[in-house]
Amino acid sequence: MSKHLSDRIRRMELTPYERVVRESMGIQGAINLLSGDPDFPTPDHITQAAVEALRGGWTKYPPIPGYEDLRGAVAEYHGRYGVEWNANNVLPTPGSSQALYLCLESTLREGDEVILPTPTYLDYFRILRYFGAKIVEVPMVEEGWRLDLEGLKEAVSEKTKMIIACNPNNPTGTVYTEGEVKGIADLAVERDLLVVSDEVYNEFLYDGRRHLSLAAEPGMRERTMVILSFSKTFAMTGWRLGFVLADEEFIRGLQRIPIGFRPSSFIQRAAIAALKGPWDEVKRMAEEYDRRRRFMTEKLNEMEGVECQLPEGAFYVFPSFRDLNIKSMELVENLARKGKILVHPGLAFGEVGEYHIRIPLVKPIGELGKVAERLESVLRELKKGEGRAKLSS
């Protein structure tokens, strides 16, 4: 049967780092930090709303566009960032990955160039590879992980179709400044580019920072596709609920894609309860992530040869091991075998991520303390050159 697979499927063979991660998942007793899956429970009022919806008969097919009251609530919610949306600008999807897929399916042709400020969310690379797009990486400036706006301008060619911007950034925690948002917007308008604005961590910003949406910039509402998710904000990863916010004509186009992308009826009803609040639990999660980012950054910077910048948003740290000359794949393999810690190598987030790893802060501080201890122990062995473990040949 393999000879009948499409070219799209054939080019999805696992990369070396994907193979290493896949193999490491079989290690028993390991602390799994491969995904950004919050360790908090979904707030009770959301779960209760889902139960009540099930008992109330919300078990049939929902309308293709999603329920209008939910779409209106999402439009109002994101409108706080200065964008005038209404219900017709919103499409609910079963997770933000599905939202991203729909946006790219509806806009990309094979060979189109897509600019990624890197490091950035690793799944962008996989889905762009699937569509046959050419990925153009523009490395961020590692000191502070700031956008290289001049580099972005130089990267645009006649084949450039869009920029995918992850703000707050996964994995670096970068929160875009006013200048950075304006810089991307000016470039997109000047060169007639589309922008995917991935804003799934918009509720997790620290030290008084505020979230700025690219869609709010002049000339950007009609060319920006905003991606939102309830997975992180409300600790609803298993519920699978995301959203696209975009120009109404574009949303109507997404609805014509012939795949089933409607979230379950009872989940949509629970989503309304999530937005209505209370928001106390979301605030508590943000406060705990703030504690964890400070704790883990301090622990990492205490290790000889390790440098870790304090993230501005999201809930990851992205430490550098460059001074130890330990590449990310080697470190990930040794952490899995010797430290029983499963993490993604920095290389998975773009070439500039080499010598880094991503550590999601989705475990209690006590568990993160164990991660730090095991990491430091593995680093000591590696510095001594003692039997470097290999998962792959």
- Output the tens digit of pLDDT for each of the chain's 393 residues: 677 788 888 888 878 778 877 777 778 889 999 999 999 999 999 999 999 999 999 999 999 999 999 999 999 999 999 999 999 999 999 999 999 999 999 999 999 999 999 999 999 999 999 999 999 999 999 999 999 999 999 999 999 999 999 999 999 999 999 999 999 999 999 999 999 999 999 999 999 999 999 999 999 999 999 999 999 999 999 999 999 999 999 999 999 998 888 999 999 999 999 999 999 999 999 999 999 999 999 999 999 999 999 999 999 999 999 999 999 999 999 999 999 999 999 999 999 999 999 999 999 999 999 999 999 999 999 988 755 555 544
Return the pLDDT at 393: 41
Token digits of residue 320? 């550098």
140-146's contacts with Cβ under 8 Å and 24+ in sequence apart are 140/172, 140/174, 140/352, 142/320, 142/352, 144/174, 144/309, 145/119, 145/169, 145/172, 145/173, 145/174, 145/309, 145/318, 146/174, 146/177, 146/180
Domain with CATH 3.90.1150.10 in the chain: 2-41+281-384
User: Which of 373, 347, 342 is CA-nearest to residue 359?
Assistant: 342
Token digits of residue 283? 């605030």
Phi and psi for 270 in degrees, rounded to 5?
Answer: -65, -30
Return the pLDDT at 22: 79
Is residue 291 within 8 Å of residue 180, measured between CB atoms? Answer: no
Is residue 187 within 8 Å of residue 205, measured between CB atoms? Answer: no
Domain with CATH 3.40.640.10 in the chain: 44-276
Return the CATH superfamily for domain 2-41+281-384. Aspartate Aminotransferase, domain 1 (3.90.1150.10)
Is residue 133 within 8 Å of residue 113, measured between CB atoms? Answer: yes
User: Which of 358, 364, 343, 344 is CA-nearest to residue 292?
Assistant: 364
Q: Indicate the fold that domain 44-276 takes in CATH.
A: Aspartate Aminotransferase; domain 2 (3.40.640)
Residue with tokens 């390790």: 306
Return the pLDDT at 386: 55
Is residue 368 within 8 Å of residue 292, measured between CB atoms? Answer: yes
Rounded CA-CA distance 186/218 in Å is 9
Is residue 85 within 8 Å of residue 133, measured between CB atoms? Answer: no
Rounded CA-CA distance 331/313 in Å is 25
How far from 175 is each of 89, 170, 171, 347, CA to CA, in Å?
A: 25, 10, 11, 21
Phi-psi region of 160 (alpha: psi -120 to 50; beta: other; left: phi over 0): beta
Whether the pTM exceeds 0.75: the reply is yes
Residue ranges of the alpha helices (H) in the chain? 7-10, 16-24, 44-55, 68-78, 96-105, 123-131, 149-155, 178-191, 230-233, 248-254, 265-276, 280-301, 328-334, 365-384
